[in-house]
C-alpha cells in the first residue's frame, strides 16, 4: 500500500485491456489469450478483485498509514528552527542582550535563546608559520571579509607541524565557549562526513597560550580540519596571557597540523570570531520561570508593550495561583508589586509577611507570562471534555515545539482557581497528556487525566518559518531595541530549519529509501555508492561490468585542485572499503585511474559580415562541446560529430560550416566510429589543438 500506484477512474474493461497488452513485455511463452486459458481466468479474477477493492485501498485512514510506516521504521520528523551564527560586526558599546532578544532581516525574526554579553573583543592579527621555518607570514587580510582572497594558510604544500596563529585583544572567561567561523573556497562539493566515517586527510591540534605555556583546548571542529567551511567551537582554558613572539602581541590561539594528507589544499577566504547563536522564531507570548521568592527581575526581548500574568506556587508540589498587580492597594491577598524599567522589563516583588500570601522557596516557584495584544485576544484554547483524541485548534500555525506551553485552569476542592503549566507529551500519573501538531496548529489530547473540565490557555508560544529560515551567508541583521548601535553579521548560512513532516512527506522518504542502493547490483548502484562516499570530493564516476569475469571496473575522477587529477591511494582505500561492504559476495571490484585524452578539431567556417571576434566565439563553443572535465559529460560518453557541428552552426555570427574534422590526439583510450569519437570507459575527453579558419561570407 505504501508503494501502491493508483489506477483510479479505470473500468474493469480498461484494466483488463491494459493487462493483456502488458503480458508480451514480460514473456513470450504466454500466447493463448482466450477466456478458456487458466491464466486468463486467474487474471480476470485478480483484476476484478483490484477493481472492487480500489476505493478501499486508496481510502486507508491516516492512522493506518502512519502505523504501517512506523512498522518499517519511518516516523514524521519534527519541525526545527533554523540556527544562525552571527557576530557583532562593529561594536560601538558593550551590551547585554536578554533571552529572546530579536534580530530582523527583511520580515523574518531571529532570536537569542539565552543572555548574550557583547563587548569589544576581536581578532587583531592572523599569522602562519611553516614547520621548516621561523618566519611569521601575515594573513591580516582574512579579517576583512570584503577582500575574499583565497589564502593557503598552511602553504601550498601543507605538512605536519605547520601552524596558524589567531591573535585577540581579549578572550572570553575561563571555561566559556567561543565560536569561530572559517569560510573556505570550495570548488567541488564534498560529501558530508557521517557519524561512522573518519577524516583520514588531516587533523589539527588547537592550543591557547597561558601562564603554563601552550595548553591544548577542548574543540569541536565543524570544518573537519579545514576541509570545508564551518564553525569551530573552543573552550577557553585557565590562565590565558598575552603572547609576544608574533608581530602583533595579544591573547593567542594556535592551530598546528598533526596530519596533512589534503586532497584539496585548504584556502581560507575569511575568519570571523566570537560568534553566538540565534534561532529563527517569532515569540508572540513568553513564559518565564523564576526560583526566587521575594524579588525577581523580568528581562524580556519582546520589545513591545505586553500584558503580564503572574502565577505563584505557594507550597511544594502544588498548582499555581494567579496573583494580581497591587497598584496603589496595600492590603492582604494574592498581590505583587511592580517597578517598570522600560518596555517588557520590570521588577516584581512579593511581600508574604505583609500580605499573607507569597511564593515558596524553590525551583520555578514563580511563572510570569508576557502576552502581546494580539495573543491576549485569542489566548483561550478551549475546554477539556475528556473523550479520546480530542482535538483543539490553536490561533497560530508553524509553532516551535521547544517554546510551547499551555495553562490548564481548574477548580480545586475549596472552589478556588488553580493553574498548571503543561508541555506537550508530559507523561505523569494524572497529568494532561497531549500531542502538538505544530504545522497544523492543533493539539490532540490523548489522556485527560485529572484535567477533565479544565480550561486551556496559551502560555509560551513562538512561530517559525521552517526552511525559509535557512538564509544565505553574508547578511547584516538589525538588532531590535538594542540601544548600543552595534551591527551584526552572519558569515555562514542558516541551517536546520524545517517544518514537521506530513504523512505524505514520510511516505515519499520511504519510497526514496526503497530505491537507494545499499547493496550494489547494477552499474548504476556502484556509481551512486562511489559518488556518495562520505568525506570525499567525487566529481565523476563510471562503472563497467564484465559478466564473463564477474568483474566491475569503476573509473573515478576526484574533485581536486589538479587540472588532470589521478585517484590518490587514500581515495582508493576509502572507496574500496566502502564497496567491499556493499558488493555481492561473488563479484570482484577494481578501480580504474582516469585517463584524459585531448581532442583536436580543425575546420573552415563561413561567418557573416560585421561580426567581431567570430573565431574566438567559435573556438569557445567547440571547447565547451569537447570538454568532459567541466561539463555534465561522463567517462565513456560518445562525442557526436553532429552535436558539435550543430553547436557551431547555430551561432549568430555563423553563415555555414564548410568543413569540420574531429579526432582524438591519441587512439590509446579513444577510437573513431564514422565521424564520432568514442572514449574508453575510463576516459574523459578534453580540448586539444583547435584550429578554425574563418571566411567572411559575401553575397
- Measure the CA–CA gap between 276 and 117, rounded to whole angstroms: 10
Residue 333 has pLDDT above 80, yes or no: yes
Distances in Å between the Cα of 231 and the Cα atoms of 166, 218, 265, 276, 556 are: 15, 14, 18, 11, 30
Confidence of residue 372 (pLDDT cuts 50, 70, 90): confident
Residue with cell 563561413: 606
Residues 136-145: contacts with CB under 8 Å, at least 24 apart: 136/165, 136/246, 136/247, 138/247, 139/164, 139/268, 142/268, 142/269, 142/270, 142/271, 143/271, 144/270, 145/183, 145/269, 145/270, 145/272, 145/489, 145/491
Query: Percentage of residues in the chain with pLDDT exceeding 90?
Result: 66
Residue 75 DSSP one-character state: -
pLDDT tens profile 219-272: 999 999 999 999 999 999 999 999 999 999 999 999 999 999 999 999 999 999
- Non-local CB neighbours of 238 within 8 Å, separated by 6+ positions: 174, 175, 210
Say which DSSP state 495 is in: B
Q: Which of 62, 65, 57, 66 is nearest to 7 (CA)?
A: 57
DSSP string, 652-696: TTEEEEEEEEEEES-SSSEEEETTEEEE-TTEEEEEEEEEEEEEE
The residues near 427 (Cβ < 8 Å, ≥ 6 apart) are: 433
DSSP code string of 572-604: HHHHHHHHHTTS-TT-EEEEE--EEEEEEEEEE
Residue 380 predicted with pLDDT over 60: yes
Q: Quick one: which H or E segment has residue 647?
A: helix 641-649
Alpha helices per DSSP H over 259-406: 352-355, 373-377
Half-sphere exposure of 493 (CA within 13 A, CB side): 10
pLDDT tens digit sequence for 641-691: 999 999 999 999 999 999 999 999 999 999 999 999 999 999 999 999 999
The reply to whether 656 and 674 lie within a common domain is: yes
Query: Is the CA virtual torsion 616, 622, 626, 632 positive or negative?
Result: positive
Q: Is 669 left (phi over 0), alpha (psi -120 to 50) or beta?
A: alpha
Domain end: 427, 444, 463, which one? 463
Assess whether 238 and 290 both reside in one domain.
Answer: no
Q: What is the pLDDT of residues 141-180, one digit of tens each?
A: 999 888 889 999 999 999 999 999 999 999 999 999 999 9
Q: What is the pLDDT of residues 385-433, one digit of tens each?
A: 999 889 999 999 999 988 899 999 999 989 999 999 999 988 888 899 9
Q: Is residue 326 part of a domain?
A: yes
Query: Which of 592, 616, 646 is the C-terminal boundary of a domain?
Result: 592
Confidence of residue 60 (pLDDT cuts 50, 70, 90): low
Do 191 and 312 lie in a common domain? no
Together in a domain, 236 and 257: yes
Q: Domain for residue 291, yes or no?
A: yes
Whole-number Å distance between alpha carbons of 391 and 103: 34
Q: What is the reported pLDDT for 385?
A: 95
Q: Is the pLDDT of residue 25 over 70?
A: yes
**266 shares a domain with 288:** no
Residue 3 lies in a domain: no
338 burial (CB, 10 Å; 0-12 / 13-18 / 19+) is middle
Q: At what angle do helices 62-71 and 503-515 cross, to 10 degrees?
A: 30
What average pLDDT score do residues 535-542 get? 95
Q: Which residues, 6+ apart, have CB-to-CB distance to 351 below 8 Å?
A: 337, 358
Indicate whether 64 pLDDT > 80: no
Cell of 192: 558530508
Strands 320-325 and 335-340: parallel
Cβ-count burial of 336 within 10 angstroms (0-12 exposed, 13-18 middle, 19+ buried)? buried
- Determine the pLDDT at residue 9: 63
Give me the phi and psi of 573, to 5 degrees please.
-65, -45
The reported pLDDT for the residue numbered 513 is 81
Same domain flag for 436 and 302 = yes
- The distance of Cα 381 from the centroid of its chain, to the nearest Å, equals 34
User: Residue 490 domain-assigned?
Assistant: no
Q: Are 202 and 259 in contact (CB under 8 A)?
A: yes
Contact 620, 679 (CB under 8 A): no
Three-state SS for 510-531 is HHHHHHCCCCCCCHHHHHHHHH
Provide the pLDDT for residue 697.
78
Write out the residue range of the structural domain in which residue 612 sits: 595-696
Using an 8 Å Cβ cutoff, are 456 and 448 in contact? Answer: no
607-653 tens-digit pLDDT? 998 888 899 999 999 999 999 999 999 999 999 999 999 999 999 99
Measured in whole angstroms, the distance separating CA 301 from the mean position of its chain's CA atoms is: 27
Asked if residue 410 and residue 301 are part of one domain, the reply reads yes
Q: Is the pLDDT of residue 132 over 90?
A: no
Residues 261, 326, single domain; the answer is: no
Whether the pLDDT of residue 7 is over 60: the answer is no
pLDDT at 6: 52
Q: What is the Cα 170 distance to its own chain's centre? A: 32
Least confident of 56-65, 124-133, 252-261, 484-493: 56-65
The residue that leads in pLDDT, 428 or 458, is 458
Mean pLDDT to the nearest integer, 70-99: 86
Closest CA to 590 of 599, 601, 582, 579: 579
Mean pLDDT over all residues of the chain? Answer: 90
| Domain shared by 304 and 398, yes or no | yes
Nearest-angstrom CA–CA distance, 425 and 436: 8
Domain count, the chain: 5
> At a CB cut-off of 8 Å and minimum separation 6, what does 80 contact?
496, 497, 498
Q: Where does the pLDDT of residue 3 fall: very low under 50, low under 70, confident under 90, or very high at 90 and above?
A: low
The mean pLDDT value for 267-295 works out to 92
CATH number of the domain to which 571 belongs? 3.30.300
Q: Is 580 inside a domain boundary? A: yes
Q: Are residues 267 and 292 in the same domain?
A: no
**C-beta of residue 12 within 8 angstroms of C-beta of residue 51:** yes
Q: Which three cell numbers stand for residue 108?
A: 523574518
- For 16, the 3-state DSSP assignment is helix
Residues, the chain = 699
Q: Which of 66, 58, 2 is nearest to 437 (CA)?
A: 66
pLDDT confidence tier of residue 532, bands split at 50, 70 and 90: very high
Contact 641, 627 (CB under 8 A): no
Q: Is 455 within a domain?
A: yes
Query: Which pLDDT does position 324 carry in this prediction?
Result: 94
Element spanning 311, H or E: strand 307-313
Asked which of 20-34, 319-333, 422-436 is least confident by mean pLDDT, the reply is 20-34
CA atoms of 303 and 305, how far apart (whole Å): 7
Helix, strand counts (H, E) of the chain: 10, 42
Q: Is 410 inside any structural domain?
A: yes
In terms of domains, do 267 and 290 share one? no
Domain presence at residue 492? no
Q: Which of 572, 592, 612 is the last residue of a domain?
A: 592
Query: Where are the strands (E) in 147-272, listed by range?
Result: 163-168, 177-184, 202-210, 213-216, 218-221, 230-235, 242-243, 250-260, 268-272
CATH code of the domain covering residue 172? 2.60.120
Dihedral of alpha carbons 206, 208, 214, 218, sign = negative
Q: Give the model's pLDDT for residue 76.
A: 82
298 and 447, same domain (yes or no): yes
Amino acid at each position: 500500500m505504501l508503494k501502491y500506484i493508483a489506477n483510479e477512474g479505470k473500468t474493469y474493461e480498461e484494466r483488463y485491456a491494459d493487462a493483456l497488452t502488458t503480458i508480451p513485455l514480460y514473456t513470450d511463452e504466454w500466447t493463448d489469450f482466450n477466456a478458456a486459458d487458466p491464466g486468463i481466468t486467474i487474471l480476470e479474477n485478480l483484476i476484478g478483485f483490484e477493481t472492487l477493492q480500489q476505493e478501499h485501498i486508496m481510502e486507508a485512514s491516516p492512522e493506518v498509514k502512519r502505523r504501517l510506516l512506523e512498522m518499517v521504521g519511518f516516523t514524521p520528523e519534527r519541525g526545527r528552527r533554523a540556527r544562525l551564527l552571527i557576530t557583532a560586526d562593529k561594536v560601538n558599546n558593550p551590551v547585554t542582550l536578554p533571552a529572546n532578544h530579536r534580530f530582523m532581516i527583511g520580515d523574518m525574526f531571529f532570536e537569542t535563546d539565552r543572555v548574550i554579553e557583547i563587548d569589544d573583543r576581536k581578532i587583531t592579527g592572523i599569522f602562519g608559520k611553516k614547520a621548516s621555518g621561523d618566519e611569521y607570514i601575515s594573513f591580516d587580510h582574512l579579517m576583512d571579509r570584503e577582500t575574499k582572497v583565497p589564502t593557503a594558510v598552511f602553504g601550498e604544500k601543507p605538512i605536519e607541524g605547520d601552524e596558524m596563529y589567531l591573535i585577540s585583544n581579549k578572550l572570553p572567561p575561563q571555561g566559556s565557549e567561543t565560536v569561530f567561523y572559517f569560510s573556505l573556497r570550495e570548488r567541488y562539493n564534498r560529501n558530508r562526513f557521517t557519524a561512522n566515517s573518519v577524516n583520514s586527510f588531516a587533523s589539527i591540534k588547537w592550543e591557547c597560550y597561558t601562564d603554563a605555556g601552550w595548553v591544548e583546548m577542548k574543540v569541536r571542529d565543524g570544518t573537519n580540519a579545514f576541509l570545508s567551511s564551518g564553525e569551530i567551537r573552543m573552550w577557553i582554558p585557565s590562565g590565558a596571557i598575552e603572547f609576544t613572539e608574533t608581530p602583533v602581541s595579544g591573547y593567542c590561539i594556535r592551530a598546528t597540523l598533526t596530519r596533512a594528507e589534503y586532497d584539496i589544499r585548504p584556502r581560507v577566504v575569511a575568519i570571523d570570531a566570537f560568534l553566538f547563536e540565534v534561532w529563527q522564531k517569532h515569540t508572540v507570548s513568553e513564559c518565564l520561570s523564576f526560583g526566587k521568592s521575594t524579588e525577581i527581575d523580568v528581562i524580556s526581548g519582546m520589545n513591545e508593550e505586553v500584558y503580564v500574568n503572574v502565577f505563584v506556587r505557594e507550597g511544594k508540589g502544588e498548582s499555581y495561583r494567579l496573583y494580581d498587580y497591587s497598584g496603589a492597594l496595600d492590603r492582604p491577598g494574592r498581590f505583587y508589586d511592580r517597578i517598570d524599567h522600560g518596555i517588557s522589563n520590570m521588577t516584581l516583588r512579593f511581600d508574604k509577611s505583609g500580605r499573607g500570601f507569597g511564593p515558596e522557596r524553590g525551583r520555578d516557584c514563580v511563572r510570569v507570562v508576557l502576552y502581546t495584544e494580539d495573543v491576549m485576544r485569542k489566548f483561550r484554547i478551549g475546554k477539556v471534555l475528556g473523550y479520546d483524541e480530542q482535538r483543539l485548534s490553536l490561533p497560530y500555525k508553524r509553532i516551535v515545539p521547544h517554546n510551547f506551553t499551555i495553562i490548564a485552569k481548574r477548580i480545586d476542592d475549596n472552589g478556588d482557581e488553580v493553574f498548571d503549566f503543561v508541555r506537550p507529551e508530559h507523561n505523569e500519573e494524572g497529568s494532561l497528556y497531549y500531542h502538538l501538531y505544530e504545522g497544523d496548529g492543533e493539539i490532540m489530547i490523548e489522556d485527560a487525566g485529572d484535567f477533565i473540565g479544565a480550561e486551556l490557555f496559551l502560555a509560551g508560544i513562538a512561530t517559525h518559518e521552517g526552511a525559509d529560515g535557512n538564509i544565505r551567508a553574508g547578511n547584516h541583521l538589525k538588532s531590535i531595541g538594542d540601544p548600543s548601535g552595534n551591527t551584526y553579521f552572519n558569515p555562514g548560512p542558516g541551517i536546520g530549519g524545517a517544518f514537521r513532516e506530513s504523512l505524505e512527506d514520510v511516505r515519499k522518504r520511504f519510497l526514496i529509501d526503497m530505491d537507494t542502493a545499499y547493496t550494489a547490483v547494477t552499474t548504476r548502484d556502484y556509481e551512486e555508492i562511489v559518488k556518495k562516499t562520505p568525506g570525499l570530493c567525487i566529481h565523476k564516476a563510471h562503472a563497467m561490468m564484465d559478466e564473463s569475469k564477474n568483474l566491475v571496473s569503476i573509473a573515478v575522477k576526484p574533485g581536486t585542485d589538479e587540472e588532470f587529477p589521478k585517484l590518490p591511494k587514500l581515495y582508493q582505500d576509502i572507496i574500496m572499503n566502502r564497496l567491499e561492504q556493499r558488493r555481492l559476495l561473488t563479484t570482484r571490484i577494481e578501480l580504474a585511474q582516469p585517463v584524459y585524452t585531448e581532442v583536436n578539431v580543425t575546420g573552415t567556417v563561413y561567418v557573416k559580415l560585421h561580426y567581431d571576434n567570430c573565431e574566438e566565439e567559435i573556438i569557445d563553443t567547440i571547447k565547451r562541446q569537447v570538454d568532459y572535465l567541466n561539463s555534465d559529460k561522463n567517462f565513456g560518453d560518445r562525442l557526436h560529430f553532429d552535436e558539435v557541428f550543430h553547436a557551431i552552426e547555430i551561432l549568430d555570427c555563423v553563415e555555414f560550416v564548410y568543413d569540420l574534422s574531429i579526432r582524438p590526439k591519441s587512439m590509446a583510450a579513444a577510437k573513431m566510429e564514422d565521424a564520432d569519437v568514442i572514449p574508453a570507459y575510463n576516459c574523459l575527453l578534453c580540448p586539444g589543438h583547435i584550429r578554425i579558419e574563418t571566411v567572411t561570407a559575401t553575397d
